Amino acid sequence: MAANRKILMAVSIILGLGCLSITAIYLISSWKLNTKPNTPTPLVLSTSGSSTNIFNQSQSAESGTVKRNIPFKSVVLLTALYYDNGSLKQGWTGSGTFVSKEGLILTNAHVVLPEEGYPVDVITIAPTISADQKPAPAYIGKVIQADTQLDLAILQVASDLNGNPVDRSTLNFPVITLGDSDKLSLGDKLSILGYPGIGGDTITLTSGEVAGFTAETGFGNRAFIKTSATIAGGNSGGLAANDEGELVGIPTQLGSGSDSRIVDCRLLADTNGDGIINENDTCIPTGGFINSLRPVNLAKPMIVAALRGELNVVIRPTTQPASSPQTGGSRYSDDFSNSDSGWTNITDEDGLVGYSNGSYVISVTSSNMILSGTSGHTIGDVTMGVTASIAQSTGQGDYGMICRQQSDGSYYAFEIREDGYASIWKNYYGSIVPLADWQYFPSLAGKQVVNFTVSCVGDQLGLTVDGLPLLSISDTDFKEGDTGLLGGTTLRTGFIVTFDNFWMQNP
């Protein structure tokens, strides 16, 4: 009996505890259902940095990955235009980057300066508005800094498309933070932004790494940054950023390891099939891939000068400047007052070469044509000169002097062009061979009257214009020959140049 009571008591205790447990569970459940859960205070991570950085990086709480916010609006599309028969036509396109909120743009010199055979009359600026839309030209730019050897330039937003000046104090363009290109190391990641042409009409991003460095006399061991990133023509002048979102390099046509001089985007083909090559066609990237960057540190002095409002365009010839020719006794002179003095006199479907109103005239009516006339005086070493005047301009007509013309038509030519370029070349059995290739001299651009002085002494050939030595080169092909004058055209026809007071002297 006592044992049964113990068992009964144990069962009662167990049942009692069970009821208490059920009651407790019920009460706790009821409390949870009627109480709002506590919301944990979020942890906010803030990082200091400029709002103009290319990449604003934020940490994802869920994935733990870094998300890049790319402010593509800092990059602009630049278009070089030229006048042809009163209408503007597209020459080429390139890219640029805002380096001041007032509209200073860093780009390549070859994007904004005239190119051989292609003048630049207007440069339009199309800011990037959306990553998925073609940018529309909104401003006209003015070159205020340029260095052709560095192939760098600074463009200033100057006016709207109608030519109305822009109040730069009201502008507020997105600005890129400048990095330190000397801190780059092999393998550092790079991001390239620009308008390469092959990427379509919208902004294009490509990525790669620092692949090496290239030295250049005068600019040290980091004159160029080599990269594994794909950088096609049209990307010239764009933006290369490091992982911190800083501008560290500028895609540049020079130092590409290619023999091609042109790395940009040009209208070369009838891409829309309408039978006409014009601004309605898609530009074709030329010159292949660049894969080379100018370090931003080389651009910083130009940027600082531009911010101070300084104007400076530096043209650095790649050939040795010519020395002033030595003069000796008079050998021959002609003021062309006598139309029987022995010079070439001919008219055909390409134009006219001959005497007219006391001058010697070359009128070119065909495109991509060179016409010349000779004096009939064969000579070896000679220093000679002439006064040339533009009678009818095309903006890109070329003209100059000839020495040592052969019986087969070969000769040495010394030319300048209306848009400011100068060159020494030779006609070698009917083929034009550059000796001192076309180089830009600002003092020549737009001049209506110039005085040539040319020297052909031994194997040394030199060109001086208005007392300024421009080019000098050596060549041994022709020892003696006739002297003469020439004029030519590229894209535009109707160029007329007159010559007066031709002279030759013993060197």
Q: What is the domain-level CATH number for residue 447?
A: 2.60.120.560
165 and 56 in a common domain: yes
Least confident stretch, 36-40, 102-106, 210-214, 414-418: 36-40
Q: Is the per-residue pLDDT at 505 higher than 60?
A: yes
What percentage of the chain's residues is helix, strand, coil (to nearest 5)?
10, 45, 45
How crowded is the C-beta side of 365, counted as CA atoms within 13 Å?
7
How confident is residue 320, by pLDDT bands cut at 50, 70 and 90?
Answer: very low
DSSP strand E in 231-358: where?
Answer: 239-241, 247-251, 264-266, 284-286, 292-295, 312-314, 330-334, 346-348, 351-356
Residue 45 lies in a domain: no
pLDDT at 117: 61
Domain contains 236:
yes
Residue 475 has pLDDT above 70, yes or no: yes
Domain count across the chain: 2
Q: How far is CA 316 from CA 147, 162, 218, in A?
A: 7, 34, 12
Helix (H) or strand (E) holding 302: helix 300-307
202 and 74 in one domain? yes
Q: Is the pLDDT of residue 492 over 70?
A: yes
367-405 pLDDT, tens digit per residue, is 889 999 999 988 999 999 999 999 999 998 999 999 999
What is the distance between the alpha carbons of residues 130 and 77, in angstroms, rounded to a whole number? 13
Average pLDDT over residues 173-197: 91
Mean pLDDT throughout 291-308? 91
Amino acid, res. 320: Q
Same domain as 254, residue 355: no
- Same-domain check for residues 312 and 334: no
Residues 254 and 154 in one domain: yes
- Which range marks the domain in which residue 61 is found? 50-316
Q: Residue 19: is its pLDDT beyond 90?
A: no
What CATH number has the domain bearing residue 79?
2.40.10.120
pLDDT digits 0-9 by tens, 122-164: 999 999 999 899 999 999 999 999 988 888 999 999 999 999 9
pLDDT at position 69 over 70: no
